[in-house]
Amino acid sequence: MTRRADDLLVAGTLVISIVFFRCAAAVAATEYVRPPPGRVIFTEHTKPASHPQQVHVSLVGANHMRVSWITEDKHVKSVVEYGKVSGNYTASATGEHTSYRYFLYSSGKIHHVKIGPLDPGTVYYYRCGMAGDEFGLRTPPAALPVELAVAGDLGQTEWTASTLSHVGRSDYDVLLVPGDLSYADAQQPLWDSFGRFVQKYASRRPWMVTEGNHEVEAAMALPGWPRPFTAYAARWRMPYEESGSGTSLYYSFDAAGGAVHVVMLGSYADFNSSSEQYRWLARDLAAVDRGATPWVVVLLHAPWYNTNAAHEGEGEAMRKAMERLLYEARVDIVFAGHVHAYERFVSSILISAIARTTRVYNNEANPCGPVHITIGDGGNREGLAFDFRKNHKLAPLSLMREASFGHGRLSVVNATAARWTWHRNDDADSTVRDEIWLESLAANGACQQSSSAAAAADSQNDEL
């Protein structure tokens, strides 16, 4: 079969898939009863004070991972023993620790230990602080394909438990969280409960997170009051230094041996053209070699494109400030949270028997803009955002929108193709409610980068 015939076959299959899922979605939408908010699940620590709790792992560079955990016992050493055979620890690493106070609350000892170098796609067994249970993790692959799960606005409810169960039931390599983790909202024991609640999953696969509005936790900037993001920064340490950032509120990292570059932006850090975040983003995107890195993915909290009445317009200032940088760098996908629903701004159309995608830039359809997806439906305690505006000015660009709990998966197959699916929580089941195949903009000859993000950053006449 010729390459042209292969392309037509793939395109035809894609169109059939799209039509099938649209039809299935129309039927399912009339039958599915949207769930109410689930109750908050408070998870206790029932083991000795020296035993690790709230264990989670994250990526640090190409072949290292960071193990984070908390102990009530302040004398436990920040040491991780690890190896490829259960109970046989052939290596160990010593890290650092911190703690914080929040009014009358005093955290436990928060440990962060960087382990490695580690082999890709390999299971390692590890023990924290030389005490307590053994844990196991699997490192991501060193090349494509790679599976990225995405779930925003998690919380710790019955629906969060359902979402994480569905995520963990199918294999994946990294979980991306676009903000709003614990919903502690200054009630610090809820941060501890959340860490214990997600430990089953977060100790096995790297969780890469960025902050949302519920992580701010600072009502007033007064002397003696906790600084914003105190708990978040202390507990969920991300690899910001490695990407040249000066704060955990925004950073970047690579996956699949650099084939995928993931940028985590801060919706609640300064983002205008004179801000450090803007300058950092321009440098970060300009340094990406799209020949070696065919996929660039961005996460942030407040969506730039949103037809829901909930949080309407809250991401607009950041969009105006930064959208041009993403567009000129040919960012492929932007994931957001904040709105407790699912929405996808991209549509597939059929032109001469070949499927094409219409993306978004500057509030208009643009084949070289990113795909924008809101996925703030992880299971939060506040409930779902039902009020999608049918007559919203962006409605023609919004192909798929539904107020249901769920999660998404980005399966990056190779340098040119990726499959995105959104999985709705249907009680004990997880239903694929939305699916689309995407072509990397780096592989699209019509979308070659016209100028670098760095040049856009230096422009003094940038209207955005």
For residue 144, pLDDT over 80 is answered with yes
**DSSP tag of 32:** P
Query: In this structure, is the dihedral angle defined by the CA atoms of residues 304, 309, 310 and 312, taken in order, positive or negative?
Result: positive
Task: State the CB neighbour count (10 A cutoff) for residue 79.
Answer: 17
Q: CATH number for the domain including 304?
A: 3.60.21.10
Task: Indicate which CATH number applies to the domain containing 55.
Answer: 2.60.40.380
Q: Where a domain ends, among 105, 139, 173? A: 139
The structure tokens 């699997």 sit at 138
Please state, in angstroms and as integers, the Cα–Cα distance from residue 268 to each residue in 117, 131, 258, 326, 377, following that order. Answer: 34, 38, 27, 18, 20
Is residue 311 part of the annotated active site? The answer reads: yes
Residue 30 — very low, low, confident or very high, per pLDDT cuts 50/70/90? very low
Domain with 338 in it:
142-458
CA distances from 140 to 74, 175, 250, 257, 328 (A): 32, 11, 22, 9, 29
Strands 96-98 and 91-94: unpaired
Question: Does residue 302 lie within any of the structural domains?
Answer: yes
Model pLDDT, residue 37: 73
Note the pLDDT tens digit of each residue in 91-135. Answer: 999 999 999 999 999 999 999 999 999 999 999 999 999 999 999
**Residue 38 in this model has a pLDDT that exceeds 90:** no
In a domain, 33, yes or no: no
Residue 18 in domain: no
Encoded amino acid at 129, one letter: G
- Sequential DSSP letters for 434-461: EEEEEE-GGG-GGG--SS-HHHHHH-S-
Q: Name the pLDDT band for 356 (thresholds 50, 70, 90).
A: low
In a domain, 11, yes or no: no
Q: Is the pLDDT of residue 455 over 80?
A: no
Q: Which of 301, 311, 340, 372 is catalytic?
A: 311
Which pLDDT value is given to residue 220? 66
Q: Are residues 192 and 111 in the same domain?
A: no
For residues 204 and 138, give the distance between their C-alpha atoms in angstroms, rounded to a whole number.
6
pLDDT in tens, 233-286: 999 999 999 999 999 999 999 999 999 999 999 999 999 999 999 999 999 999
Please tell me whether residues 86 and 175 are part of one structural domain: no
Residue closest to 101 by CA, chosen among 268, 225, 249, 248: 225
* Whether the predicted pLDDT of 462 surpasses 80: no
305/337 same-domain check: yes
Asked if residue 198 and residue 95 are part of one domain, the reply reads no
Last residue of a domain, one of 139, 165, 200: 139
Over residues 25-43, mean pLDDT: 67
Does residue 234 share a domain with residue 383? yes
- On whether residue 81 sits in a domain, the answer given is yes
Residues 270 and 389 in one domain: yes
Examine the fold and report which residue of 139, 161, 176 is the final residue of a domain before the chain moves on: 139
Mark whether 352 and 426 lie in a shared domain: yes
Same domain? For 65 and 206 the reply is no
Q: Is residue 280 part of a domain?
A: yes
pLDDT of residue 32: 67
- Is the distance from CB of 131 to CB of 76 less than 8 angstroms? yes
- 232 and 332 together in one domain: yes
Rounded to 10 deg, the angle between the 316-328 and 276-286 helix axes is 20
Q: Is residue 15 part of a domain?
A: no
**Pair 315, 356 in one domain:** yes
Residue 333 resides in a domain: yes
* Total of domains in the chain: 2
Q: What is the DSSP string of 260-315?
A: EEEEE--TTS--STTSHHHHHHHHHHHT--TTT--EEEEE-SS-SS--BSTTTTTT
Q: Are residues 303 and 442 in the same domain?
A: yes
Instruction: Determine the pLDDT at residue 13.
Output: 37
- My answer on whether 252 and 156 are in the same domain is yes
Q: Give me the phi and psi of 75, to 5 degrees please.
A: -100, -5
